[in-house]
Amino acid sequence: MEVRAMKHRDIRRLVLDTFAREGRAPSVAELADRLGLDGKAVLNGLEDLHDAHAVVLGDYGDAIRMAHPFSAAPMGFVVTPAAPYDDRMWWGGCTWDSFGIGAALKLEVVVATRCPGCGRELRMEAGPSRPPGQDWVAHVPRPAREWWHDVIDTCGNLRTFCSAEHLARWSARTGRATGEAVPVARLWRLAQPWYGDRLDPDYRPRRTAASQRLLTEAGFTGDFWRLPVDRVEAVMTGEDPG
């Protein structure tokens, strides 16, 4: 079990390191070559990590779609360093994840997106100790217990709006029900402890109870924000999932 856990940790760490350095997901062949594993072992490891919510695989199960807070494809958010002469770029999966990229990289970033309600370009500068200055809202489309029922759809609709009125306009136009509208600064606050240690060499995934505490400490309380009790726990620890 410990050898299996080490393999999972090594795969996950290399996936995140590649996202952080290059803004992209490594392929199965690349992971196998760099880790000295065969492709089948890597694919099995990625499947375990997907089941543990540590990565998200694409529809065909053979490529990495997301490794929160990073996305391998455009999802409405472009994250770049705030510092000049630094031309790195990352896709943010949602408002929360975009702030999480800055938290994970310990970096001041610019988050660029558009309000789905009116199409206006929105830019937010934020960092580990610098909240966004705007009073815009983020739409969280479904309760926490349902986030992983379709995590791509959850992230794809966790968008930034100019106002609650523009969120209502978008909902009426698209026919989609709304979840919760929260200040973007509150999601920034949550992103700092949630993602701040994600790239640490000794990172260990949190248990559900610890994640629930982070939600509560950031002001996300009530039934809408209650995580599911049957969430698959981290396979990288070497413990049986469940």
**Which domains, ranges and CATH numbers included, belong to the chain?**
2-62 (1.10.10.10), 77-225 (3.30.450.410)
- pLDDT of 204 reads 87
- pLDDT of 5 reads 63
Surface-to-core class of residue 177, CB atoms within 10 Å of its CB (0-12 exposed, 13-18 middle, 19+ buried):
exposed
Tell me the per-residue pLDDT of 71-103, one tens digit each, with 9 for 90 and over. Answer: 999 999 999 999 999 999 999 999 999 999 999
* DSSP output for 93-131: SSHHHHHHHHHHHT--EEEEEE-TTT--EEEEEEBTTB-
Tell me the per-residue pLDDT of 187-240, one tens digit each, with 9 for 90 and over. Answer: 999 999 999 999 998 898 899 999 999 999 999 999 999 999 754 554 444 443
Prediction pTM value: 0.92
213-227 in b/e form (b: 16+ CB < 10 A) is: ebbeebebeeeebeb
Q: What number is the average pLDDT over the span 155-165?
A: 97
CB-based contacts of 50: which residues, under 8 Å, 6+ apart?
Answer: 56, 57, 61
pLDDT category of residue 38 using cuts at 50, 70 and 90: very high
pLDDT at 3 over 50: no
| Closest to 52 measured CA to CA, from 185, 226, 206 | 206
Q: What number is the average pLDDT over the span 20-35?
A: 97
Peptide bond into 132 cis (omega under 30): no
Residue 21 CA to residue 71 CA, distance in Å, equals 13
pLDDT category of residue 2 using cuts at 50, 70 and 90: very low
Virtual torsion, Cα 148, 232, 41, 74, nearest 10 deg:
20
- pLDDT of 7 reads 86
Specify the DSSP element, H or E, that contains 16.
Answer: helix 2-22
Residue 212 CA to residue 228 CA, distance in Å, equals 10
pLDDT at 14 over 50: yes
pLDDT at 174 over 90: yes
Whether 241 contacts 51, CB under 8 Å: yes
- pLDDT of 4 reads 62
| Closest to 100 measured CA to CA, from 77, 83, 84 | 77
